[in-house]
Amino acid sequence: MEQLRSSLRDKPAARWGALALVSLTMFFAYMFVDVLSPVKILVEKELGWDSTVFGLYGGSEFFLNVFVGFLILAGIILDKMGVRFTALLSGSLMVIGAGLKVYALSATFRNGGIGYETISGLTGGIKNVFGWELPPTAMLASLGFMIFGCGTEMAGVTVSRAIVKWFKGKEMALAMGIEMALARFGVFMIFRISPWLSEKFESVQAPVIFCALLLCIGLLLYVVYWFMDRALDNELGDEEVEEEEPFKFSDLGKVFGKGIFWIVALLCVLYYSAIFPFQKFATEMLHYKVGFELKEASDIFSYFPIGAMIVTPFLGYFLDRKGKGATMLILGSILMIVCHMTFALYPFVSGSSSSTAVAFSAIILLGISFSLVPATLWPSVPKLIDNKVLGSAYSAIFWIQNVGLMSVPIIVGSVLDSVNKNVPEGQPKDYTLAMLIFASFGVAAFVLSAFLKIVDKKKGYGLELPNVKK
């Protein structure tokens, strides 16, 4: 016990420094995820993508994670190889995927550069099988996004496990809240920077290059973290080894066999399916639904993650000391429903100050919702799952979440093209049905949140209890 009390993670500067290293890399990753979201209309004009193609591109980030089961593999790698190896692997995959995406949008590739004919052949095959007409730029960008998606989702699992490792028995929810807040700030930054860079350099490739360079810096930060984490393991010695056993495939049964796990996993996929896919269409929705100019729409939506960024650490602090996690999940789902139903049904008038106020308020509510649910959800997992298979539990939840994150952009993009197939070019697109789809996920998440609170009260998992032990 003395050894534990004197370890690196008991030194505030060390554990918060480790948090900074892994959080900054996720900050860069979140910027890259939505780098094209605020310039969707410019992508359509410059690259010839329609909403279905854009949705397919957006969903491609999760394709390998879902159909190849890469996230399950990520959990196995994490459990067997540890945080350090998995962090470096995830960072490398993100950089490789980003590089492919940069090349896909380049003039060199578009003018028949290396690999153009091969990629064109692949697009023909996809059209024959699925009926989707993907431009070669979208095909290669999607392939790069798939590889990046493997890296970023693996990084998400790894960062969660790293925080548990460094903050066990301490300010875990606050630490996770700060990591999430910084990631949300990445969304704010890219919704501000991406339109500006695209306009300045007259190309949608410019912000992609910028974010790819940031990911290279993130990989270097993971290298620094590698040395810190090794020092912690050296101090913990056999104590940590006793807590973690070698991975066995039978361990997955301990994860999938728990009913409470499925409640949390389904809640996760429903909630995140109403958030991340929405981000990809939000700027265009605000442009057509509310009447904002493109840059104004992007700037206004950028405040969505600011609300989450500011509130999340405070919620983490509250959860650490007061609890009420299950109640916060319910409240977060209600706020999400209000936001999406507002954009679906409110009679917005272009140029109206009241419409602007309503749109801005709905976005802020969504930001608060985005604080309540993730800040509660992830610190709750260690209360439900044995630490010996925690990496597999996180990866399994991420895998189930990825099914929704892959499918929903494709569904929404197809719905938009179907609903607006007879709308003349240049006229506003109808986003009502798309927003109702997002709202329906919120309704389902609310039902599951209420059920989770009932189960927690009956079984005593401690979701309503504080994380900090007195």
The fraction of the chain above a pLDDT of 70, given in percent, is 90
Task: Give one DSSP letter per residue of 446-464, joined into a string.
Answer: HHHHHHHHHHHHHHT--TT
Mean of per-residue pLDDT scores for the chain: 84
Look at residue 310 and tell me whether its pLDDT is greater than 60: yes
Look at residue 298 and tell me whether its pLDDT is greater than 60: yes
**pLDDT class of 243 with cuts at 50, 70, 90:** very low
The pLDDT tens digits for 359-417 are 999 998 898 888 777 767 777 777 777 777 776 677 678 778 888 988 999 999 999 99
Look at residue 334 and tell me whether its pLDDT is greater than 80: yes
Residue 325 buriedness (CB in 10 A; 0-12 / 13-18 / 19+): buried
Locate 110 and state its tokens. 């578009």
CB 93 within 8 A of CB 158: no
CA distance 278 to 431: 11
**pLDDT class of 5 with cuts at 50, 70, 90:** low
| Phi and psi angles of residue 101, each rounded to the nearest 5 degrees, phi first | -65, -40
* Domains of the chain, earliest start first: 12-237 (1.20.1250.20), 251-469 (1.20.1250.20)
CB 36 within 8 A of CB 195: no
pLDDT at position 470 is 59
**pLDDT class of 2 with cuts at 50, 70, 90:** very low
pLDDT at position 8 is 73
Average pLDDT over every residue of 300-323? 76
pLDDT at position 469 is 63
* Residue carrying structure tokens 């301490």: 170
**pLDDT class of 30 with cuts at 50, 70, 90:** very high
| Phi and psi angles of residue 224, each rounded to the nearest 5 degrees, phi first | -65, -45
Average pLDDT over every residue of 187-191? 90
pLDDT at position 458 is 86
The pLDDT tens digits for 445-467 are 999 989 988 888 888 777 777 76
**pLDDT class of 263 with cuts at 50, 70, 90:** confident
The pLDDT tens digits for 39-84 are 998 898 889 898 989 999 999 998 888 888 787 777 778 877 888 8
Q: What is the pTM of this model?
A: 0.80
Average pLDDT over every residue of 436-447? 94
Average pLDDT over every residue of 332-359? 92
- Cβ-count burial 270-303 (b if 16+ within 10 Å, e if not): bbbbbbbbbbbbbbbbbbbbbbbebbbbbbbbbb
Look at residue 3 and tell me whether its pLDDT is greater than 50: no
Q: Distances from the Cα of 8 to the Cαs of 19, 83, 159, in angstroms?
A: 13, 16, 18
